[in-house]
A and B are shown apart, each in its own frame.
Chain A
Amino acid sequence: MNHIKGAWPRRGAVALALLTSLTLTGCGLSAGGDSEAAAPVAESKDVSLRIGTSADAQSLDPPNFSLTADFTRLDLLYDQLITLAPDGTPEPGLATSWKQDSDTEWTFEIRQGVKFSDGTDLTAEVVKTNLERASKAKQGSGYLGVIESVEATGNQVKVRLSKPFSGLLNNLSVPVAGIVSAKAIAEGEKDLSSRPVGTGPYVLKTWNPDELMVLERNENYWGEKPPVKTLEIVPIPEASTRYAALQSGDVHVIENPPPSELASIRASEDLTEVIEVKAQPVFLGFELKQVPDVKVRRAIAMAIDKEAIVSTVLEGVGEPATKGLIPPALISPSDEPITIPHDVEGAKRLMAEAGAKNVTLDLVVPTDYYLKDKEVAEVLKEQLKEIGVTANLKMQESGTWFTSLLEHKTQMYWLGWGMTAGDPADMLTRVFRSGAVNNMSGYAGSDEDIDRLALLPVKTKEREDLMNKIQRRLVMDDVVVVPVYHSTNFYATGAGVEGFHTRRSTLWDLSKITVRQK
């Protein structure tokens, strides 16, 4: 530019440069190095950890959460009355004990000596305020709407339900049921979405949406304190960038690496994959009115090679659903596997028997919602083609897809169902009970059994047998759905990071993590 002699171009350039420098200062950019990069720290009890996630949280108010991404953060900031053991058994949380007084009445003993991050004490009154609020809240009502009234006396909370519901304890363990400081609620519910006040193992230090969330260990935590002192959560929406950030050491752990990189993660000395059970079956469902012939549905089920889909398309990131619709981790195994085995010749015979020729069915699939959903759909299409069924793939953006399903606008659908509360009865009630909003199939063949689940105590043989009976009917007799795989939590950790685990339904287990110097 030195050679430019004319007056205005130089002025233009100066103006542009000035504008840039103004905007730079305006939005708080500072000169200098990448001070935020996560250098591995020496192994100690006080490690700091940087996790790259695919989405940022939206709301940190438990009963008014917005996305499943909020769950992981809520889980760290709040406690619930109940916690769940890995197999779904309820264990004490902020409630030290409980008893069921009748089908619709429960009494909880509240833990003493627990403080919220604003210094107030946890009391039975606070729990009452929370349960009443959650039962009417935007999201809370979906889990706790069954609560009719709450009474606090001394150290006890008595909960009355509007109808019998044995899954109450499970629903009280979900992050949506996190107990919030009553003082903070009184001061303004609107602020809770960005200024959480809980009793959890962490407190929020800073949060710049879509950029960085910093959590600090709650040094007054009543339970066992986690080894990670400072937890930085950085949302990086693009999977390839997340992976690059892990490789370059900018982050220690990433959520959902690109599955195509699994081989290179395995080949790398520094990186480790973490693939762990998540309670979410992903299945092909039929709209029963539009696909009324059970023989055709069974033939389609026989045509689907679940193992091939998991091993080739998903590259092993998932578990073929060869034992049933309900994730095996959540139920004692039934005597025989609940599945329709892959049998193309048998499927062809069945199609001939049904007199079904030139069958064309719509299959609505979301894009980028479940792991490699587009590729899975393409393979399903090829597998169905072998038995003479043409699947007309309708790839829809996730918002459109879910509405299509709710409005029964398709013959076949692709859907996964997360079981956050660890109680499969919840899915059976919401997806397969007639009249339920989410009964995308329009199924009505198991109502009586499903209703009985609400009366039987959780984790009893009687209840599990009944659930197995229902899922056998759904999968094998009536062929309402074809469970294809159980999705897994998929993470990768970088050099020197060990012991990162997940808990069911996408929560993090940071209790055993170590981060060591390179």
Chain B
Amino acid sequence: MLSYAGRRILQLIPLLLIISFVVFVALEMTPGDPVTLLLGQNASPEAVADLRAKLGLDRPLVVQYLSFVANAVQGDLGISYRSGREVVAELARTAGVSATLATTGMLIAVLVGVGVGILAAVKQYSIIDTVTRVGVLTLVSLPVFWLAILLIIGFSVKWPIFPAFGWGTYLHLVLPAIALSTYPLAVIARLTRSSMLEVLGGDYIRTARAAGLPERTVVMKYALKNALVPVMTVIGLQFGALIGGAVLTETVFGIPGMGRLMVTAIEGRDYPVVRGAVLLGTVVFVVINLLVDVLYKWVDPRQRGV
């Protein structure tokens, strides 16, 4: 298991190199010049040339990339063009916020999604099942930003229970986490339901029932454990979608997270911040999926030899 995890971590190195290079090239190809944007309408051509040289943007792309990699391995991701603050500090400031939001959103999605999925499967064709299936379809189709604004109008303006925006207390977390959780919740619920239905039809479940085990034990101990294996893979993948959703959620709710940092950075062509955020995002995504895979092997003995 450990050597497997080690191997996966090592695979991260070439992946990060590739991703950072792609980001480098993509930013270079994006129209819009950081120096012009930075200096604005009143800049003199000399000032533009001067700043370009200062930021090292006048060097060939490969040279810029190599110096970026050389600094990055020493933990230096550069300085934000816009704010003049260290990129590492900017990421440190925002990553915790985004992690809290994403984890809470995922927690809601997993707890509710799995619960609803089980219920719908156990009570197949009942009213609960129908409501779940319709509900899941609705949630999957809801655009996050729209739902977010609806939640704000409902629970901050009409019934002022939660703050409309900002960060700082647990109350600030509720609406954004709910908005963020809907999509993965729907996906998890749907998958749990179908996976449970498949498992519940298995021979060993019939045997367990025939042996006179209580239905609760059959469902929760025998069926669920097997049904959740595919669900776990999806949870890992959904974290990726969650990172994307966090960009919108953070913007709508005015949360000082990494998604918002990145949007502002892209708009202002703040290359160092964009690169840093993409790299961190990649690491997080890979590590989460690694954790899921390790967990997967732990849960499913059939996978251990692979």
- Name A's B-contacting residues (CB within 8 A): 1, 3-6, 8-9, 12-13, 16-17, 19-20, 23-24, 26-37, 52, 55, 58-59, 61, 64, 66-67, 138-139, 141-143, 145, 190, 193-194, 208-212, 234-238, 240-242, 244-245, 247-250, 396-400, 402-404, 406, 417-418, 430, 437-438
Cα-based distance from A517 to B51 in the complex (angstroms) = 50
A161 to chain B, nearest CB (A): 15
Q: Are B83 and A36 in contact (CB under 8 A)?
A: no
Confirm or deny: B286 has a beta carbon within 8 angstroms of a beta carbon on chain A: no
Counting contact residues on chain B (CB < 8 A from A), the size range is: 35 or more
Residue of A nearest to B115 (CB): A1
Q: What does DSSP make chain B's interface, helix, strand, loop or mixed? A: helix
Give every chain B residue within 8 A of A403 (Cβ-Cβ): 31-33, 36
A-contact 0/1 string along B260-281, CB 8 Å cutoff: 1100100111000000000000
Q: Are B254 and A248 in contact (CB under 8 A)?
A: no
Q: List 24 A-B contacts (CB under 8 A).
A: A8-B299, A13-B111, A17-B107, A20-B100, A20-B104, A27-B97, A29-B169, A29-B170, A33-B171, A34-B169, A55-B264, A61-B84, A66-B82, A66-B268, A209-B83, A210-B254, A211-B167, A235-B254, A238-B149, A241-B164, A396-B31, A399-B269, A430-B42, A437-B43
Residue of A nearest to B80 (CB): A58
Cα-based distance from A212 to B168 in the complex (angstroms) = 10
Q: Are A141 and B261 in contact (CB under 8 A)?
A: no
Q: Assuming A36-B166, A244-B156, is B38 touching A145 (CB within 8 A)?
A: no
- Name B's A-contacting residues (CB within 8 A): 30-33, 36-48, 51, 82-85, 90, 93-94, 96-97, 99-100, 103-104, 106-107, 110-111, 115, 145, 148-149, 152-153, 156-157, 160, 162-173, 216-217, 220-221, 224-225, 228, 251-254, 256, 260-261, 264, 267-269, 295, 298-299
Q: Are B43 and A142 in contact (CB under 8 A)?
A: yes
Give every chain B residue within 8 A of A396 (Cβ-Cβ): 31
Give every chain A residue within 8 A of B299 (Cβ-Cβ): 8
Cα-based distance from A404 to B82 in the complex (angstroms) = 21
Give every chain A residue within 8 A of B162 (Cβ-Cβ): 34
Give every chain B residue within 8 A of A418 (Cβ-Cβ): 41
B163 to chain A, nearest CB (A): 5
Residue of B nearest to A250 (CB): B164
Give every chain B residue within 8 A of A194 (Cβ-Cβ): 83-85
Q: Are A240 and B152 in contact (CB under 8 A)?
A: yes
**Given A66-B82, A234-B166, 17 additional A-B pairs, CB 8 A:** A1-B111, A6-B221, A16-B110, A26-B100, A28-B168, A29-B169, A30-B168, A34-B163, A58-B83, A138-B51, A141-B44, A210-B94, A210-B256, A248-B163, A250-B164, A402-B37, A404-B31
Give every chain B residue within 8 A of A237 (Cβ-Cβ): 251, 254, 260
Q: Are B170 and A32 in contact (CB under 8 A)?
A: yes
Q: Assuming A5-B217, A5-B221, A59-B83, is B166 touching A417 (CB within 8 A)?
A: no
A418 to chain B, nearest CB (A): 8
Give every chain A residue within 8 A of B107 (Cβ-Cβ): 16-17, 20
Q: Are A241 and B256 in contact (CB under 8 A)?
A: no
Give every chain A residue within 8 A of B97 (Cβ-Cβ): 27
Cα-based distance from A241 to B85 in the complex (angstroms) = 28
Q: Are A417 and B168 in contact (CB under 8 A)?
A: no
A18 to chain B, nearest CB (A): 10
Cα-based distance from A8 to B226 in the complex (angstroms) = 11
Cα-based distance from A209 to B100 in the complex (angstroms) = 18
Residue of B nearest to A68 (CB): B40
Give every chain B residue within 8 A of A406 (Cβ-Cβ): 36
Give every chain A residue within 8 A of B256 (Cβ-Cβ): 208-211
Cα-based distance from A112 to B171 in the complex (angstroms) = 50
- Find B99's partner among A3, A23, A139, A247 (CB 8 Å cutoff): A23
